[in-house]
């Protein structure tokens, strides 16, 4: 019998778990390693006594090609309509919109652009310079309010910061024509799905939180003969273009290594400088509502007055709950709660906040990519091409794109 190929996966988030299950079914001998004591990565729940909250709005896409590779029924995933909204006041007006997840304005679009440019190769400043001057300046000012120097940013920072597309609501017909004619403008300008003649999409979340989801995933991986080492550090060692690992004092040389986790140490071990690893320190807020929500929905926030990025309303363990993601570590809880109440009212909900359930959680959010890190990561990927490393598609923010990339490279 032919020996199985050996595969080590570094990182026990959802990308690593899905890749491990897929590889095991493809007859790889799989070893999954994570430095944390349980699987889950950034999806781990926020726990308070006997209660839990979703750490952030992290939907799983049931329409993604990789979704069919997992036993979603066994993992107890609930499927529902993908509902979203936006509140924007950074453009000197208040804009409230449903079915939009980006900054919106009643301004008309007059481009300051070179439509032949490839948007994905631009830095952040070059990217926003495609927009009218007024919009450019307001975006600059908004980033400055969080002490972010946009001159240092890669264009790849636009999507994780949720400013990948701007919705010019005063020019819907024109925007549709421009998006149809230009791939560049399609990447810069937003429309609602029905305005693009697209149907509704669904999302899914685990019924009892991500911690339980990953406990079940752990069992499924073990059933498929995946070896799992938690609380374990894997040190990368390069021998020319062969990547080896030092794990618990033992050097191993797998046929393939997938590195879904933070690549800072991996890239440094190749002789490159340390990544800058730009991040934002934030204090996020969680609380219960007086009743279950009618629909799971997240509201993107673009405010010059409140350092909030998103408010997520959802049901979890038969309770209506709210997760407020912020962009600052020093915040006024009372002001955040009062603003949330206004958002609830503005979107015609009648939920009441149970303020005695409020908790907070300090986090570092790695949602920014510097131009320097972008360049280093691209160079590292190019230099290690042909090695036994399958990189984690680190410059791509979308989960589906990351997982699909890993699966393609295992086929």
202 belongs to a structural domain: no
Whether the pTM exceeds 0.85: the reply is: yes
Angle between helices 14-25 and 210-223 (to 10 degrees): 20
Q: Does one domain contain both 290 and 271?
A: no
How far is the C-alpha of 402 from the C-alpha of 397, rounded, in Å?
Answer: 8
Do 259 and 392 share a structural domain? yes
Same structural domain for residues 257 and 380?
Answer: yes
Whether 66 is covered by a domain: the verdict is no
Bridge partner list, 365: 280
Q: Is the four-CA dihedral 266, 272, 278, 281 of positive or negative sign? A: positive
User: Range of 130's domain?
Assistant: 85-196
Total number of residues shown for the chain: 411
Same domain, residue pair 214 and 329: no
Q: How far is 275 from 264, CA to CA, in rounded Å?
A: 6
Which stretch of DSSP H or E encloses residue 247?
A: strand 242-247
**Cβ–Cβ < 8 Å for 40, 12:** yes
Q: How far, in Å, CA of 101 to CA of 85, rounded? A: 6
Of 140, 163, 196, which residue constitutes the final position of a domain?
196
Q: Report the C-alpha gap between 161 and 131 in whole angstroms.
A: 17
Q: In what order do the strands lie in the sheet with 319-326?
A: 95-98, 83-88, 297-302, 308-316, 319-326, 280-289, 353-365
Q: For 354, how many CA atoms within 13 A lie in the half-sphere containing its CB?
A: 14
In a domain, residue 73? The reply is: no
12 domain residue, yes or no: yes
Answer yes or no: do 155 and 92 share one domain. yes
User: In the structure encoding, which two tokens stand for residue 329, read together?
Assistant: 């570590």
The beta-strand segments (E) located in 35-111 are 46-48, 51-53, 77-81, 83-88, 95-98, 104-105
CATH number of the CATH domain containing 46: 3.50.50.60
Closest C-alpha to 142, from 283, 300, 371, 360: 300
Kindly state whether residue 69 falls inside one of the protein's structural domains. no
My answer on whether 268 and 229 are in the same domain is yes
In a shared domain, residues 164 and 313: no
Query: Burial, 173: exposed, middle or buried (Cβ in 10 Å; 0-12, 13-18, 19+)?
Result: exposed
Q: Do 259 and 360 reside in the same domain of the chain? A: no
Number of domain units in the chain: 3
- Distances in Å between the Cα of 120 and the Cα atoms of 112, 159, 179 are 17, 11, 16
Strand partners, 298: 84, 312
Q: Judge whether 45 lies within some domain.
A: yes
Q: How far apart are CA 193 and CA 190, in angstroms?
A: 9
Among 196, 219, 243, identify where a domain stops: 196
Shared-domain flag, residues 123 and 219: no
72 in a structural domain: no
342 in the same domain as 374: no
Both 182 and 271 in a single domain?
no
Q: 98 and 171: one domain?
A: yes
pLDDT digit string (tens) for the chain, length 411 residues: 458 999 999 999 999 999 999 999 999 999 999 999 999 999 999 998 789 999 999 999 999 999 988 999 999 999 999 999 999 999 999 999 999 999 999 999 987 655 555 666 689 999 999 899 999 999 999 999 999 999 999 999 999 999 999 999 998 999 999 999 888 889 999 999 999 999 889 999 999 999 999 999 999 999 999 999 999 999 999 998 999 999 999 999 999 999 999 999 999 999 999 999 999 999 999 999 999 999 999 999 999 999 999 999 999 999 999 999 999 999 999 999 999 999 999 999 999 999 899 999 999 999 999 999 999 999 999 999 999 999 999 999 899 999 999 999 998
Rounded Cα–Cα distance for residues 273 and 137 (Å): 33
Q: Which of 154, 176, 196 is the last residue of a domain?
A: 196
Task: Give domain status of residue 377, yes or no.
Answer: yes
Helix crossing, 399-410 with 14-25: angle to 10°? 30
């Amino acid at each position: 019998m032919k020996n199985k190929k050996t595969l080590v996966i570094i990182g026990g988030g959802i990308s690593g778990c899905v890749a491990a299950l897929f590889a095991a079914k493809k007859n790889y001998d799989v070893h999954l390693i994570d430095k944390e004591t349980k699987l889950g990565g950034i999806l781990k729940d926020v726990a308070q006594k006997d209660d839990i909250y979703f750490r952030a709005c992290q939907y799983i896409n049931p329409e993604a090609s990789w979704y069919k590779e997992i036993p979603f029924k066994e993992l107890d995933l609930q499927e529902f309509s993908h509902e979203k909204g936006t509140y924007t006041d950074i453009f000197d007006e208040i804009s409230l919109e449903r079915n939009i997840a980006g900054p919106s304005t009643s301004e008309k679009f007059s481009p300051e652009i070179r439509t032949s440019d490839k948007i994905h190769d631009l830095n952040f400043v070059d990217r926003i310079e495609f927009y009218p001057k007024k919009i450019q300046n307001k975006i600059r000012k908004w980033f400055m309010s969080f002490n972010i120097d946009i001159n240092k940013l890669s264009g790849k920072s636009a999507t994780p910061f949720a400013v990948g597309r701007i919705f010019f609501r005063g020019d819907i017909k024109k925007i549709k024509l421009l998006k149809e004619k230009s791939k560049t403008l399609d990447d810069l300008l937003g429309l609602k799905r029905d305005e693009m003649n697209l149907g509704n999409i669904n999302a899914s979340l685990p019924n009892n939180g991500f911690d339980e989801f990953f406990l079940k995933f752990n069992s499924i991986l073990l059933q498929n003969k995946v070896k799992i080492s938690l609380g374990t550090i894997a040190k990368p060692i390069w021998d020319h273009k062969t990547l080896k690992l030092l794990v618990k004092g033992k050097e191993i040389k797998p046929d393939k290594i997938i590195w879904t986790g933070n690549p800072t140490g991996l890239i440094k071990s190749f002789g490159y400088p340390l990544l800058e690893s730009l991040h934002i320190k934030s204090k996020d807020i969680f609380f219960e509502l007086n009743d279950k929500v009618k629909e799971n929905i997240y509201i993107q926030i673009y405010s010059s007055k409140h350092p909030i990025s998103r408010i997520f309303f959802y049901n979890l363990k038969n309770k209506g709950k709210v997760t407020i993601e912020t962009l600052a570590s020093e915040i006024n809880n009372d002001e955040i709660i009062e603003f949330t109440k206004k958002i609830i009212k503005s979107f015609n909900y009648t939920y009441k906040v149970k303020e005695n359930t409020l908790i907070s959680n300090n986090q570092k959010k790695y949602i920014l990519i510097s131009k320097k890190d972008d360049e280093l990561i691209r160079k590292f990927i190019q230099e290690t091409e042909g090695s036994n490393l399958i990189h984690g598609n680190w410059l791509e923010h979308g989960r589906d794109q990351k997982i699909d990339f890993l699966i393609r490279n295992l086929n």
